[in-house]
Amino acid sequence: MLNVKSIAEVNQIIHQRFADLRMPAEKVKLEEALGRVLAEDALASEFVPDFNRSTVDGYALRASDVFGCSESIPAILAQIGEVHMGAHSSLKVGPDQCVYVPTGGEVPEGADTMVMLEYADDLGGHEIAIYKPSPPGANMIFRGDDVKPGQVVLPSGRRLNVADIGALGALGKSEVSVRRKPRVAIISTGNELVAHGETLTPGKIRDVNAVMLASAVLEEGGQPHTLGIIKDNEQAVRTALLSALKEHDLVLLSGGTSVGEKDAVPKIVADLGELLVHGVAAKPGKPTLFGSVNHKPVYGLPGNPVAAYFMFYSLVRPLLAHMLGAELISRSANYPLARAVPSNHGREEFVPVIIKDGLAHPIASKSGLITTLSGTSGFIRIPRDLEGLSKGQVVEVTLFAR
């Protein structure tokens, strides 16, 4: 018999056991940092921008000099020069003076506003007519408006996206400190399995979990290593697990986790270390186990692909995020159910859904049919103490990242 625990209880056990497990920092080139997790706050060491900058083509001047001007009574200013892109200007704008500045150019000292070319005329003889007032700060970005020295631009634990890379480039960073990717070993057990690229023979099934779990690890910022298929016997499991633990931070064993005579994984984990959980109150996913061997986390996931996916999502993702010091992010949205969904299993149930016409359509799926899951929009959770959901009931749908 499995001594089942809720998903919340299992995650609490995992967190308590590996609360201090955090990947070390390493330096990577900025060009290679996309998707990586910052190991420390990214601080600005300079002003960005480092000068007062114009956002329009026009004239830099003092706002007080054009107060109250109009098309019928323009302000007449003396142009004392112009600013060139990429060059510092030593010009200083005084009363009733202006300077031409292109978009992105430096606004010279003394000017506190920019007037667009559309509201000005060159009268010749270095005289410029301004037809519209411009308040202080208009059409300008001031020095340090973006960031100032010492300011936290991106916090530790941030998973870097494209815009973040641009921000770090603006700070002059050529490399950043990120968490090393967790090295995750993936081992498939089962006498019935063949590699996913091989031809099937009678009685055999393809090893779907290896490639699926490897992709899931990649998506969560880890570095997966698929170590192949082993027989479901004690010696094979023992040898493979001990070998994997030497070079990896975490091990995912797939299959061989129930209570049958040939299911060797629970016994080996208990013999070599601590079997902390064996049995999760979830459908699918009940045979899932978790333990510690050589002070490293070891998961035993069900052989059925859908069950393995949901247990990875619910139990492995949170630990990987913790190891990276990253926030665990999920996308979700609320939709009414297109039909009622019965549930009286006494286990938290995961139900795949398709979002169509503003409704969540539950999809009947068996644990082994991963192709059913691949065509869905996401899934809903039915709490273990609930006897189902009603048609039209608004539910939270966890959306797949697509």
| Complete domains list, the chain, with CATH | 7-23+181-324 (3.40.980.10), 27-47+156-179 (3.90.105.10), 53-141 (2.170.190.11), 331-399 (2.40.340.10)
The predicted-structure confidence for 73-84, as pLDDT tens digits, reads as follows 999 999 999 999
Strands 127-130 and 75-82: antiparallel
**In the predicted structure, residue 370 carries a pLDDT above the cut 70:** no
Peptide bond into 284 cis (omega under 30): yes
Given pLDDT bands bounded at 50, 70 and 90, which one contains residue 146? confident
Contacts of 242 (CB under 8 A, 6+ apart): 272, 293
| Burial environment of residue 213 by CB neighbours within 10 A (0 to 12, 13 to 18, 19 or more) | buried
pLDDT at 198: 81
pTM above 0.75, yes or no: yes
Mean pLDDT of 292-301: 97
Nearest alpha-carbon partner for 306 in 363, 361, 251: 363
Mean pLDDT of 44-70: 95
Mean pLDDT of 211-237: 95
**In the predicted structure, residue 56 carries a pLDDT above the cut 80:** yes
**In the predicted structure, residue 304 carries a pLDDT above the cut 60:** yes
Better-predicted residue by pLDDT, 232 or 185: 185
pLDDT at 195: 87
**In the predicted structure, residue 309 carries a pLDDT above the cut 90:** yes
Given pLDDT bands bounded at 50, 70 and 90, which one contains residue 402? low
For the chain, the distance separating the N- and C-terminal CA atoms, rounded to the nearest angstrom, is 38
**In the predicted structure, residue 97 carries a pLDDT above the cut 80:** yes
* SS3 per-residue string spanning the chain: CCCCECHHHHHHHHHHHCCCCCCCEEEEEHHHCCCCEECCCEECCCCECCCCEECCCEEEECHHHHCCCCCCCCEEEEEEEECCCCCCCCCECCCCEEEEECCCCECCECCCEEEEHHHEEEEECCEEEECCCCCCCCCEECCCCCECCCCEEECCCCECCHHHHHHHHHCCCCEEEEECCCEEEEEEECCCEECCCCCCCCCCEECHHHHHHHHHHHHCCCEEEEEEEECCCHHHHHHHHHHHHHHCCEEEEECCCCCCCCCCHHHHHHHHCEEEEECECEECCCCCEEEEECCEEEEEECCCHHHHHHHHHHHHHHHHHHHHCCCCCCEEEEEEECCCEECCCCCEEEEEEEEECCEEEECCCCCCCHHHHHCCCEEEEECCCCCEECCCCEEEEEECCC
> What percentage of the chain carries pLDDT values higher than 90?
81
**Mean pLDDT (the chain, rounded):** 93
pLDDT at 202: 87
**In the predicted structure, residue 369 carries a pLDDT above the cut 70:** no
**In the predicted structure, residue 262 carries a pLDDT above the cut 80:** no
Q: Quote the CA–CA distance of 210 and 305 in Å, as a whole number.
A: 9
pLDDT at 260: 63
Mean pLDDT of 148-160: 95
